Structure 1
Amino acid sequence: MLFLTVAVVSAALIIGAAWGLWGKLPKGLEGFMVAMAGGALMVSVTIELIQPALQQTSLIELSVAVAAGALVFTGLDWWIEKQTEGSEGAGLLLAITLDGIPENLALGVALIGAGVPEVAALAGSILLSNLPEAAGGAKEMREGEMGRGRIMWLWTGTALILAAAAIIGNFALAGVDDEVLALIRGFAAGAVTASLATEVFPQAFREERYGTGVAVTLGLLIAFALSTLSGG
């Protein structure tokens, strides 16, 4: 079940990249999907990461871990943007990789001791996020005159890196103490939350404008429904 879930989520990057290179992608639709995925991730972060972590550690320790995750993501995101300014392809790919690593690490951690239905909201929201992000990223790289073959190889490599993050999160952390695992969940939750604020929602608003609020709400409701059905 682990490998099937990881394969589906990671394959969304490759499918999205192909969609962006050869398919038609209206900006409004892309923004709507990104916003919907962001809304779903808000629920997933709370139900699949923060709530389980709070059962294994104190609120103060968890808060520190969440804040650390947000600070680390924000700092690295800022550094990458400064280092790759003027190079849209490299900067965007690095930003999505940085965003995806904590998401997929969180997916791997969430799968420890749980069946796929119990993490349906988290896996589904990551999949929904990967599709439009990869499509938009590949389209932007192509506009920068990068070859289609090179773009597909880059996105395939990114998918493999993110799949590895999920598998490492599941196997390497399986025997870790519950309190340590809770702090790791909190760190991942902070990183994903920061990525929503700095990467996902601003992009969605630029492309969809005021429909963004409706899309975020729809994504939130879908993720909540999935979590309820899976008993989360």
Structure 2
Amino acid sequence: MLDALGWGAVAAASLLVGAVLALLRTWRAGLIGGVLAFGAGALISSVSFELAQEGLRLGGPLPVAIGIAVGALAFFFANRAVDRIGGRKGGGAGGLPLAVGALLDGIPEQAVLGIGLASGEGVSVALLVAIFVSNLPESIGSASDMRANGKGRGVVLGLWAAVAVVCALATLGGYALASVAGGQVRAGIDAFAAGALLVMLIDSMVPEAHDKAGNRAGLVTVIGFAVAAALSNLT
């Protein structure tokens, strides 16, 4: 169990690292857009190869379809709640949708990591690197937007530290569930993360990347997809 907590902390640490990097300097809008585009490509790869494909292998189409629908609805309604909060405060949500997306993706993703550890599958270095590749752009982009919208450094760091801790603890939850989690449960967890990610990508991450990086966003997204796909398929 200590191993699960340790690997979970390693995987989640990139969220806090990204927030720190965003606060250490002022990032140009084009650079933030490029980082977000690269991360979007990595997340599309994760949905394709780490989540949906693995879910289909483990549990078949029905758990995957249900999980994707539930994950999509979860992010949709959570994002609406964030927008309402921003509207009541008289300003934009300031990066919160990306934080919500990181949380809704990170919990099931790291739960799957814990299940794999408990099942004796070990930890793939390629998977850990892929998690870093996708987490950093989310936290960098979100933290930069929060600072631009007037959020204090302590608030930004506190939020991303909380997200990282919750995601790390989800690895322990997955480890504990391993004894009762069959293929269909694991497939549903994978699919939930995929559904939440897809809605977040289309509603928040991709549009923001294009707004900040312009036409370069599409090319950088493809590069991010290619890098993450290669990492995901390393043997």
Contact 2:12/2:167, CA 8 A, preserved across alignment: yes
182 and 151 in structure 1: CA distance in 2 versus 1, 3 angstrom threshold: closer
Aligned to 2:27, what secondary structure does the other structure show? coil
Higher deviation after alignment, 104-113 or 45-54: 104-113
Match of 2:198 in 1: 193
Structure 2, unaligned runs of 5 or more: none
Q: What do residues 72-93 of structure 1 show as CA deviations (whole Å, max 9, x unaligned)?
A: 2112212221233254899446
Indicate the residue corresponding to 2:123 in structure 1: 116
Per-residue CA distance 1:15-72 (angstroms, 9 max, x = gap): 2222222213121111111111111111111211112221233324422321222122
Query: Using a 3 Å threshold, how does the CA distance of structure 1 residues 126 and 175 change in structure 2: closer, same or farther?
Result: same
RMSD between aligned residues? 2.7
Give the partner amino acid of 1:103.
Answer: D
Q: Which runs of 5+ in 1 are unaligned?
A: none
Map of 1:6-155 to 2, 5 A cutoff?
A: 6-85=8-87, 87=89, 91-92=93-94, 94-104=96-106, 105-111=108-114, 112=116, 113=119, 114-117=121-124, 120-121=126-127, 123-155=128-160
What amino acid sits opposite 1:83 in the alignment? I
Kept after mapping to 2: 8 A contact 1:36/1:218: yes
Match of 1:209 in 2: 214
The residue number in structure 2 matching 1:184 is 189
**% identity of equivalent residues:** 30
Distance change in 2, residues 1:187/1:138 (3 Å): closer
Contact map agreement 1:20 1:136 (CA 8 A) in 2: yes
Per the normalisation by structure 2, the TM-score is: 0.82
> Do structure 1's residue 227 and structure 2's residue 232 form an aligned pair?
yes
Q: Structure 1 residues 9, 29: CA separation in 2 closer, same or farther (over 3 Å shift)?
A: farther
* Worse-superposed segment, 36-45 or 129-138: 129-138
The corresponding residue for 2:162 is 157
**1:133-171 deviations in Å (ceiling 9; x for gaps):** 333433343344443334333332232223223432343
